[in-house]
Amino acid sequence: MGSGASVSEASRPERQEAGQAEAEPGQPSTPAGRSDATLQETVAEGEEVSLDFESFLHNNGTLYSCFNHHGNRVYVDESQNLQPFPKEWYSQGHFLTPNNESSGQAHAPASSQPAVREDDRTGSIYIQGKGTVMTYMFEERVNVCRFWDPHSGVWLLLPLQWEINVEFVKARVQRVMSTLPGLVDQKEITAALRQCNYDPEEVISVYLTMFGEILLQASAGGNHNYADLNSFRALLERDRVIEDLRQKLQTKEKEVDNLFQRNSYLAREVRYLSEVVQHLNQKLAELEADQQEAREKIRSLLNRRAPAVPPAKTITKPAVDTDQLRQVSRLTRELNVSNKQLRSTVHQALTDMKNQLEELKGAAGKLTQVEQEAAGEVEELRSLYRKEAVERKSLYNKLLELQGNIRVFCRCRKTTASSSCLEKTDDQEVVVVQKGSKKKFQFDKVYSQTSTQEDVFAGTLPVITSCVDGYNVCILAYGQTGSGKTYTMMGSKENPGVNIRSIRELLRICAEKEKVSYTLKISMLEIYNDSLNDLLTKSASAALDIRVQGKSVSVPGLTQIQVQTEADILNVMEMGEKNRKIASTKLNTQSSRSHLVVALEVEGSDEVSGLTSRGTLTLCDLAGSERISKTEAEGQRLVEAAAINKSLTALGQVFSALKCNALHVPFRNSKLTHLLQPCLSGDAKCCVFVNVSPDVSDAVETLSTLQFGSTIRQVSLGKATQNIVLAKTTRLRSKPRRR
Ligand SMILES: Nc1ncnc2c1ncn2[C@@H]1O[C@H](COP(=O)(O)OP(=O)(O)OP(=O)(O)O)[C@@H](O)[C@H]1O
């Protein structure tokens, strides 16, 4: 395999091996052995032929075979014709050379020296999370660390644990560890370095590809990320085990099906043979009756042979002569013989059938036993599958727990103003500049003004999976009026926000799990002036109340609608939006004066394991916090503002109590916190967006919003479990209606 090999006597066998037709001087041919005008154009008659065989990997994943003759490049298209190599392709892919593939460096430009490829070296493999990828077996030289053994007089391979102490290796291990603080096992890194020819850059890129940016985060405890990594690895391993088990289960189910079919075939056979036996018995009975009848006839003939002859003068001829008698006697003998033969034939047939029946019965018995064993195995596999699925769920949960059950993101609203009170220093830090002083805040992620709705949604993706696994998941948007909460949560029709995207993702995950059937129910309410309004009913119903029963929080009388598709959900949400009270303030004419809560209950029942899970995705667009003095609100608006501020203060108090693991968490101080209790405690998972305005005039509100977000970030729901009364499920249920 050489780069840019020419067609010469020396290289001919290699070329033929690669499935290419030979090209004689002046008579170029295509790989299929056909002459081709395109290639002929590139080779003048009598000219010495010098062809380069190349492989070009297009960015769309297609691998093309190309020929290069004195700089004229052609490629083999799908129909095996040669086509001129398009110029624009040089920037849309790269030629495969041993160098650009093995070093892990960026792809060499397409115009660089290509390589001859051997087709049996290519292949593909399925990698979890990446799908099917192309593989290529490269032949390359590698560094090997050996030591001189004076006794044997040869260079021996240095064991891994000694190799770690060799300066050359040590420096590279340190280089990898300083870039990926999440990696702590030096032996593992040394082994990886061996695999990558002691190239630390390649090791780093391999780890990043396998485990993502989790490795980039250094943790205070030192092995926090290591635990993350192990959890992630264990998760991948579980996925593999589950897949194996699923396949085994399928095979066993097929075997059981086959056994069922064979069993029913044998049962049919037994039925058929029984019918044959019955028929033969009938025939035998008929023959015996015939024989009896014949005997009767003979007897009556014999009786008639010697009648009492009255004395007469004239001697009359007897009625039966001796010939006749002889004939009858012969007939009788023959009948007896055939009767005997028939008996023995029938007897033989009956014995055969009896044997056959016995055999069949034995086979059926064995089949039933095998069937029972297979059913036992299937049951065992089922329970293993169930166990693996539960363990996988708990591992995933553990991974999320390690990352924190509450994740806080900061999003800066877009502005047209030239000056801004916000500076984003890195992905996790934002600085507020107010009257010359600077204050830093850290979040799980900071989204700048230029971040897209897709970027913002990506942060919430991991927790959505938990909802399908049966956990309570909550996504909240907090911030001052006009800071972009509704834009983040709802977005526009063309550019939807977290609400629609998370529902879409949820539906996608549900559809992917073929063996689990899901029921989805949606409810929508607003908390206006500390009272709950059902948004999915047109009738002006009485104010709703919150009921706590054991560990669950419910809203009796709240409308819940069963939905199946994204369109169903959009229709329901549109109806709810129409019923929502929107009023204007001096700050924002479209300002929301109520908290909007959309709850999607996901109930899944696993056909294989028989387990049922119930999770709830709660999407909450909080009303804007504001300074009453700034808005100059009066009358009804003043009441609204006071109610909003009161409930947001209660929310802050809840987070503060959770933060310090207080014995009492004041969930009941407002309807908002009371309703959200199951999403803020126990093993619930929560994403909070703190939306901030970059306007200099909003600096005070921005500071207080970021302060609020900072407090939430220090809360770990898992730790608070033992100190508070928890409710696991939010059941916003009653009056279920089908659409
Ligand atoms: N990231 C952004 N990109 C573009 N426009 C934005 C962005 N964030 C907010 N906006 C726009 O700013 C305006 C106010 O945003 P939005 O209504 O979402 O604020 P809000 O915090 O929900 O306000 P309120 O609490 O008063 O309801 C809207 O016109 C919205 O389209």
Q: Tell me: the pLDDT tens digits for 464-492?
A: 888 888 888 999 999 998 899 999 999 98
Among residues 392, 424, 441, which one ends one of the domains? Answer: 392
Q: How far is CA 685 from the centre of its chain?
A: 20
Mean pLDDT of 392-404: 64
pLDDT of residue 315: 53
Same domain, 111 and 90: yes
Who has greater pLDDT, 609 or 145?
145
Pocket test of ligand 1: the residue of 413, 590, 596, 705 to mutate, having most ligand atoms within 8 Å of its CB, is 413
pLDDT of residue 224: 47
Distance 243 CA to ligand 1 centre (A): 45
Atom of ligand 1 nearest to the CA of 621: 22
What 3-state class would DSSP assign to 70? coil
Atom of ligand 1 nearest to the CA of 623: 25
83 confidence band (pLDDT: 50, 70, 90): confident
* Block residue for tokens 């086959």: 258
pLDDT of residue 697: 87
- Count how many domains the chain has: 4
From 94-103, 294-303, 459-468, 713-722, the region with the lowest mean pLDDT: 713-722
Q: Considering Cα of 239, then 242, then 248, then 254, what sign does the dihedral take?
A: negative
| Residue 66 placed within a domain | yes
pLDDT at residue 9 above 50?
Answer: no
- Compute the distance between CA of residue 582 and CA of residue 298 in angstroms, rounded to an integer: 116
- Compute the distance between CA of residue 514 and CA of residue 521 in angstroms, rounded to an integer: 19
Same domain, 617 and 654: yes
Of 696, 702, 482, nearest in space to 587 by CA: 482
User: Which run of H or E residues covers position 620?
Assistant: strand 612-621
709 is in an annotated binding site: no
Same domain, 183 and 296: no
Mean pLDDT of 246-257: 84
What integer best gives the mean pLDDT of the chain? Answer: 76
Distance 491 CA to ligand 1 centre (A): 9
- Compute the distance between CA of residue 536 and CA of residue 590 in angstroms, rounded to an integer: 21
ipTM of predicted assembly, 2 dp:
0.97
User: What contacts 474, CB < 8 A, 6 or more positions away?
Assistant: 617, 618, 619, 620, 676, 679, 680, 684, 685, 686, 687
| Pocket of ligand 1 from Cβ distances under 6 Å | 413-414, 479, 481-487, 588, 590-592, 623-624, 691
The dihedral region occupied by 530, where left means phi > 0, alpha psi between -120 and 50, and beta the remainder, is left
| Residue 141 placed within a domain | no
Task: Dump strand ranges (E) for 622-708.
Answer: 685-692
Distance 487 CA to ligand 1 centre (A): 5
Atom of ligand 1 nearest to the CA of 622: 25
Same domain, 619 and 490: yes
pLDDT at residue 446 above 80?
Answer: yes
Residue 111 · residue 100 · CB < 8 Å: no
% pLDDT > 70, the chain: 74
Burial of 640 (0-12, 13-18, 19+ CB in 10 A): buried
pLDDT at residue 135 above 90?
Answer: no
Distance 415 CA to ligand 1 centre (A): 10
pLDDT of residue 217: 62
296 confidence band (pLDDT: 50, 70, 90): confident
Strand 72-76 vs strand 63-69: parallel, antiparallel, or unpaired?
antiparallel
Q: Considering Cα of 11, then 15, then 17, then 23, what sign does the dihedral take?
A: negative
pLDDT at residue 646 above 90?
Answer: no
64 confidence band (pLDDT: 50, 70, 90): confident
Who has greater pLDDT, 567 or 738?
567
Residue 525 · residue 546 · CB < 8 Å: no
Chain segment 448-462, per-residue pLDDT in tens = 999 999 999 998 888
pLDDT at residue 657 above 50?
Answer: yes
pLDDT at residue 124 above 90?
Answer: no
Who has greater pLDDT, 417 or 122?
417
Distance 486 CA to ligand 1 centre (A): 6
pLDDT of residue 96: 75
481 is in an annotated binding site: yes
Among residues 218, 243, 277, which one ends one of the domains? Answer: 218
What 3-state class would DSSP assign to 401? helix
Same domain, 385 and 255: yes
pLDDT of residue 169: 92
- Compute the distance between CA of residue 706 and CA of residue 637 in angstroms, rounded to an integer: 25
What 3-state class would DSSP assign to 434? strand
| Residue 3 placed within a domain | no
40 is in an annotated binding site: no
From 89-98, 141-150, 717-726, the region with the lowest mean pLDDT: 717-726
| Residue 649 placed within a domain | yes
Pocket test of ligand 1: the residue of 424, 453, 478, 486 to mutate, having most ligand atoms within 8 Å of its CB, is 486
Mean pLDDT of 248-268: 84
DSSP state of 250: H
- Compute the distance between CA of residue 486 and CA of residue 526 in angstroms, rounded to an integer: 14
| Residue 419 placed within a domain | yes
From 135-149, 228-242, 392-406, 606-620, the region with the lowest mean pLDDT: 392-406
pLDDT of residue 13: 32
Who has greater pLDDT, 195 or 229?
195
Same domain, 282 and 409: no
Q: Read off the amino acid at residue 400.
A: L
| Residue 471 placed within a domain | yes
Atom of ligand 1 nearest to the CA of 411: 1
pLDDT at residue 517 above 60?
Answer: yes
222 is in an annotated binding site: no
Same domain, 33 and 123: yes
pLDDT at residue 110 above 50?
Answer: no
Same domain, 376 and 438: no
Same domain, 498 and 571: yes
- Compute the distance between CA of residue 357 and CA of residue 270 in angstroms, rounded to an integer: 7
Chain segment 607-620, per-residue pLDDT in tens = 877 778 888 999 99
403 is in an annotated binding site: no
Same domain, 472 and 552: yes
- DSSP assignment of 160-222: HHHHTTSHHHHHHHHHHHHH-TT---HHHHHHHHHHTTT-HHHHHHHHHHHHGGGGG---TTS
Of 54, 29, 31, nearest in space to 43 by CA: 29
Length of the chain: 739
pLDDT at residue 664 above 60?
Answer: yes
Backbone angles phi, psi at 341, to 5 degrees: -60, -45
Of 525, 527, 521, nearest in space to 535 by CA: 525
Pocket test of ligand 1: the residue of 447, 487, 588 to mutate, having most ligand atoms within 8 Å of its CB, is 487
Atom of ligand 1 nearest to the CA of 624: 25
38 is in an annotated binding site: no
Among residues 347, 362, 392, which one ends one of the domains? Answer: 392
Distance 588 CA to ligand 1 centre (A): 9
Report the range out of 121-135, 358-372, 540-554, 574-588 with the highest average pLDDT.
358-372
Q: Two tokens at 136? A: 């290529």
Same domain, 153 and 275: no
Residue 447 belongs to a domain with what CATH number? Answer: 3.40.850.10
User: What contacts 245, CB < 8 A, 6 or more positions away?
Assistant: 381, 384, 385, 388
479 is in an annotated binding site: yes
**HSE-up of residue 684 (Cα within 13 Å, Cβ side):** 27
Mean pLDDT of 439-449: 91
Report the range out of 9-23, 393-407, 433-447 with the highest average pLDDT.
433-447
pLDDT at residue 211 above 80?
Answer: no
Residue 716 · residue 655 · CB < 8 Å: no
| Residue 399 placed within a domain | no
pLDDT of residue 620: 95
483 is in an annotated binding site: yes
| Residue 106 placed within a domain | yes
Distance 739 CA to ligand 1 centre (A): 32
pLDDT of residue 5: 32
Distance 489 CA to ligand 1 centre (A): 10
b/e map 543-567, b = 16+ CB within 10 Å: ebebeeeeeebbbebbbbbebeeee
- Compute the distance between CA of residue 21 and CA of residue 15 in angstroms, rounded to an integer: 8
**Boundaries of domain holding 452:** 405-738
Same domain, 649 and 516: yes
